[in-house]
């Protein structure tokens, strides 16, 4: 495959990651508003809702897993870089590729394990032990999607970094 073709493929991945991050932002906005309303109802009317805390907890998973690949894509993830300042560009590129391979391995295991857990939740019809009785399968499926996007983003990062002259591929 040519470098131009890879750039196009991973350009699509970048667009999907961006859309997922925008969705995560809207979910965060909803959670913030719901918690605000719940606090207002609790302290001023002594009538808290029964669903906001549980739903906010589940939606927090959506926020995390929808935004993780975008964060990697933009280079906004947490990194310890002060040691990289001591190395030249070639060594920095090698170190970045090695750490990306380790992170890719972790992401593949995360994808594998979340897929197993989600399949079990679907097949065994797991539900929350609360009054809401939420089906866990619909909560866990976002972990599979987010992990998949993270794996593809790491793959793109590694492949494009290997083919490029610089140590950074995605926007910083």
Which structural domain range is residue 9 located in?
Answer: 3-163
Q: Residue 104 in contact with residue 152, Cβ under 8 Å?
A: no
| Residues constituting the chain | 172
Residue 169 belongs to some domain of the structure: no
Residue 159 belongs to some domain of the structure: yes
pLDDT tens for the chain, 172 residues: list them.
Answer: 566 787 788 889 999 999 999 999 999 999 999 999 999 999 999 898 889 999 999 999 999 999 999 999 998 877 777 777 788 888 888 888 888 899 999 999 999 999 999 999 999 999 999 888 999 999 999 999 999 999 999 998 888 777 775 545 544 3
Residue 172 belongs to some domain of the structure: no
Residue 23 belongs to some domain of the structure: yes
Query: Could you give phi then psi for residue 127, rounded to 5 degrees?
Result: -135, 160
Q: Residue 135 in contact with residue 127, Cβ under 8 Å?
A: yes
Per the structure, how many domains does the chain have? 1
Residue 155: closest CA among 93, 107, 109, 91: 107
Question: What does the H/E/C string look like for 75-116?
Answer: CCCCCCCCCHHHCCHHHHHHHHHHHHHHHHHHHHHHHHHHHH
**Which position has the token pair 């870089």?**
81
Residue 86 belongs to some domain of the structure: yes
């Amino acid at each position: 495959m040519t470098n131009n073709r890879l750039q196009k493929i991973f350009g699509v991945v970048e667009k999907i990651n961006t859309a997922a991050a925008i969705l995560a932002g809207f979910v965060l906005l909803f959670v913030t508003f719901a918690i605000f309303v719940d606090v207002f109802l609790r302290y001023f009317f002594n009538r808290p809702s029964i669903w906001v805390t549980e739903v906010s907890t589940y939606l927090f998973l959506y926020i995390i897993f929808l935004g993780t690949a975008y964060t990697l894509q933009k280079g906004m993830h947490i990194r310890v870089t002060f040691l990289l300042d001591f190395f030249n560009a070639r060594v920095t590129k090698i170190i970045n590729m090695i750490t990306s391979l380790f992170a890719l391995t972790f992401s593949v295991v995360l994808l594998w394990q979340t897929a197993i857990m989600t399949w079990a939740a679907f097949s065994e019809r797991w539900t929350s032990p609360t009054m809401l009785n939420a089906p866990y399968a619909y909560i866990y499926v976002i972990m599979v999607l987010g992990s998949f996007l993270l794996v593809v983003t790491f793959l793109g990062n590694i492949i494009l970094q290997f083919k490029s002259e610089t140590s950074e591929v995605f926007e910083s």
